[in-house]
Amino acid sequence: MSGGSWSTRELAELAGTTVNTVRHYHRLGLLDESERRHNGYKRYGVPHLVCLLRIRRLVELGVPLSEVGVARSAGDVPPEVLRQVDAQLAAEIERLQRARDDIAEVLREGAPADSPAGFASVAPRLSAADTSLIHVYTRIYDQDAMKDLRRMAEEDQDHPVNAELDALPPDADEATRQGIAERLAPLIAQNLADYPWLTDPGARLTGNEHAGAQTFINAVVSLYNPAQIDVLTRASKMAFKIRKVYL
């Protein structure tokens, strides 16, 4: 390199960036074009290098390129822009910390990486259908509801009737269906008693109540076979009757 006179590649290397980035800054009007030598090649000087380094510094801080252009014209980035960038960085740090916490839990519990957030401790023992349904729940229920659903999963996960329901074939006979429903009903009744909002979940939905209810129905019909849905329906009806007895 000759002192104070650099090609585009040399300028990019000095600034720790790429030729494409330098060209991008030219297109945005952030970096002045250089003069061309008699051979047609661009040559950049110290002012170009300093300008590029200033741009890179603002980019490192998270300042949007649109504001970098304003800064070049006004002489500095307005404080309110920096405060906005800081708020965005704080939110991103919080998101990353949650991700790290989730990864730690997944590794500790030996759970699948795509386990629903907060359910890593029970995910290894949940059926594929139950895990999929919980994923759907995360999009329709609020955080308090999800905490309750996690507690329910923790309390009920080892009950033998859940394994029976998971293994139930679509052509299960009447006696088998009725027997599983009768064993499942007390569990559902207990959950209804412990978490009263289950009888009227509308207040725990994050969006439109009708849309949330329809999403739930569609998910259940898609994820469980007809015999399992029949058992769940029977058990729920029995559970409501059991609950009324104790009210």
The 10s digit of each residue's pLDDT in 164-182 is 999 999 999 999 999 999 9
> Residue 244: pLDDT above 70?
no
Query: Are residues 66 and 78 in contact, defined by beta-carbon separation less than 8 angstroms?
Result: no
> Residue 24: pLDDT above 60?
yes
Average confidence (pLDDT) over 131-155: 94
CA neighbor of 69 nearest in space, from 55, 81, 82 = 55
Residues 199 and 239: their CA atoms lie apart, in Å, by 11
Give me the CATH topology for the region 8-74. Answer: Multidrug-efflux Transporter Regulator; Chain: A; Domain 2 (1.10.1660)
Within 10 angstroms of residue 131's Cβ, the number of other Cβ atoms is 20
Residues 232 and 217: their CA atoms lie apart, in Å, by 12
Residues 240 and 188: their CA atoms lie apart, in Å, by 8
β-pair type (42-43, 35-36): antiparallel
Query: Are residues 149 and 137 in contact, defined by beta-carbon separation less than 8 angstroms?
Result: yes
Tokens of 93: 């740090």
* Sequence-distant (≥ 6) Cβ neighbours of residue 233 within 8 angstroms: none
- Given this model, what pLDDT does residue 227 score? 98
- Given this model, what pLDDT does residue 5 score? 85
Average confidence (pLDDT) over 76-99: 94
Average confidence (pLDDT) over 39-61: 90
CA torsion sign for 112, 113, 115, 118 is positive
- Given this model, what pLDDT does residue 86 score? 97
What's the whole-model pTM score?
Answer: 0.73
Residues 147 and 76: their CA atoms lie apart, in Å, by 46
- Cα 24 to Cα 58, 65, 67, 197, 242: the distances in Å are 16, 11, 15, 55, 69
At residue 40 the predicted structure's pLDDT band, cuts being 50, 70 and 90, is: low
CA neighbor of 193 nearest in space, from 143, 242, 141 = 242
